[in-house]
Amino acid sequence: MCGIAGIFNLNGEPVSPVTLRKMTDAITHRGPDGEGFYSDNFIGLGHRRLGVIDPTPAGHQPMISKNGQVVLSYNGEIYNFQELRAELEALGHQFHSRTDSEVVLNAWVEWGRDWVVRFNGMFAFAIW
């Protein structure tokens, strides 16, 4: 089960990479297969990965959308992700992994906040 960590500084101060690393280090047991970080001024996301569906580097998180505008740190399983992937591919989305994480990311890009009602599964996420 992956681990998600995040910082959102309401005062606008930059995120401390040291603090973000300490947060992800504290949840190493949640994801022994890798770690990742994203930071942009006052927002920071950390991820500890347990690679199950696609353990290759293509599933690394936090995952950034093709247009660079959306960042995702995700844990869970979307049982119908293959059907959603086919629907998104028909709409022109391209995929670089076999993960349900990338489906979640592209679903957000395509459908915005309405995406979550399309999912059958159990999940938690942080999206920026």
What is the set of active-site residues? Answer: 2
Which residue's structure tokens are 């505008």?
69
99 contacts 56 by C-beta, under 8 angstroms? no
Best CA proximity match to 16, nearest among 36, 34, 50, 42: 42
Cα–Cα distance, 74 to 82 (Å, whole number): 17
CA distances from 116 to 45, 58, 99 (A): 20, 23, 17
